[in-house]
Structure 1
Amino acid sequence: MRSIFAFILIFAVVFGTISNQRISVPLKINDKQQLFFTVKYGEKQCQVDLIPAINFCSNVITEPSQVADQCGSVYIGENNFVKSRDYSAKFQLGNTQTNLQFSVPNGSQSMFYGAQELCFGFQNYAEQQNTLIELFQSGQLTEERFYVGLNNAQTSSASAGYLDIGAANESQIKAGSDFVKLSTSTGESQYSTNSNRNLNYGSQKLQGGSIVFFSLDSPFTQLSIFAFQDLLSAFSQQGVEYTYLPDQDYAVYLNSIEQLQNITLGLVAQDGSAYNVTLTSQQYTKQLNNSQYQLLIVPQFYTNSITLGYPVFESYYVGFDLPHRQILIVEKAQQNTFEA
């Protein structure tokens, strides 16, 4: 009987440890305004900056294959599908060491040439390497999920936030709040949800799209050209002074953001209810060195979608569930520092 209780106790301890597995990786912002993290890999623990990719992706480090060899990576073989050499290496992710496979493109003809990324997106082909799947299959995770929360989306010198792989970091969730599972848009090749088309600037309605994506690549929110034009019209009606340069990537510059109002977007939860996401003026603009502000909203053409730039992760802690291809969202706790 004692042995049975001992086994149950050991099992409970082990299961409790496993069920709370989380790999927390600090995120920074590079000169291209992309979120990235720094890892070490191979027996030599070579350092490299990688992008967390969630679109069509694979684990890729674009460098001469000799570098991967010198860093102590193990050569697996040729990957004819993506035209690359495949390797396996020990990666240092946060405080965790784990073995991952990655590709080194053979040249510019490679499908992923130029990429420096670990993939957390959908695996559509067996030849793609995927960090979540590899960590799950090796027993490092109990859930193929990752979460993003940012504390400061406008700094490149300090940690902007964290990428939490596996279990959520409860300290990032606003007290009394719970994750909401968002509806899943079918037929999309990346994480997406549906919108009820309720898109507003203050009390003024803008023309909303029906599909919503979250971006880890850019601080810019992308709206339809019609919603973008509606927004500029609202600025004019308010007397907000701005400079619009359509021939320079549709850039908009403002002298002040004091008059600007919040932008709200209605998302559709899995149960059909509405979940409203709010972007403040500080999140959809960026102050420049000349004291002007750049509007972090750009138009997109011939599409019925909206892409939220990564400043949204300052207010919301967002999870991405790979097996269910689903997004989870909750209000984020506001704090000065992150608890890894």
Structure 2
Amino acid sequence: MSTFKALQVIEQDGRFVQQIVQRDLAELPAGDLLIRVHYSSLNYKDALSASGNRGVTRHYPHTPGIDAAGVVEQSSVAEFTAGDEVIVTGHDLGMNTSGGMAQYIRVPAAWVIKRPSGLSLREAMLLGTAGLTAGLCVEKLEQAGLTCDAGPVLVTGASGGVGSVAVALLAQLGYQVVASTGKTSQHDWLLSLGAQRILARSELEQGCEKALLKEQWAAAVDTVGGDILFNVVKALRYGASAACCGLTAGSQFQASVLPFILRGVNLLGVDSVELPLVVKASMWDKLSLQWKLTQLPQLAEEIGLDEVPQAIELLLAGQLQRRRLVRID
């Protein structure tokens, strides 16, 4: 088989159009492993790439998809053999390297981990980059001293991919979770994932002019950034930490040193893209074993590759309810 099905984004009269096409394997970039993709997942970065955001993808035509789970068909390295089931997330996949919204990818071995035994390929993509990032946030908070008896843990952007996994994971681990969202339609779903209370996003937007806010949070997972992030920092309890991993509300905020020098709080950055492979593999192992979510089936809805363009449109409009697992037939 020399051709394969792929979602391709092309620039046409100043517009970016998504279409399902047949591509040739020879068009894929050089790499150690040729992988038959079985599942991907839709992320906000994929939507940006598919809509022509040059900060994500420089050159078109392009196939997005920062996540992929599948089976090795060809390998030029000893670490992998044909038939190995593998996961690829982050690095340059789906950005400037042809991504997981296709039946095949070709990538360096340094981007690839073998599927942990506790997760199927489908389960791995129910989590995807969003689940990996959420796990890294929780792990970093625990490394900074967070324990289940510390008090309420806030998750901002809770109805999004990272936020919803963080809510489910924190709740399963025994934390008191407060989920913040601007989508009232998602309240019942977040409560079903384990949130004990829902906080309107508008409440977190108040108090930007103040240097400190009333101490509330024992910790926070922030997926939105902007002034909401610093309002969260200003309301952390003494010595508490916030893990920051997103910027949907903005990449900048008005800051003061006062929360840091008067309350000794911590702002922890979390990256899942260029993370060393050994660290990434360790988190996937944890998510497949002691942190395996009982709520996995509730985290995403499954769609086919031909349904991705409509899902991207909804995601960019802020109307997508839950994550999308993409089945690559």
TM-score normalised over the length of structure 1: 0.28
Greater C-alpha radius of gyration: 1
- Which structure carries more helix by proportion? 2
TM-score normalised over the length of structure 2: 0.28
- Which structure carries more strand by proportion? 1
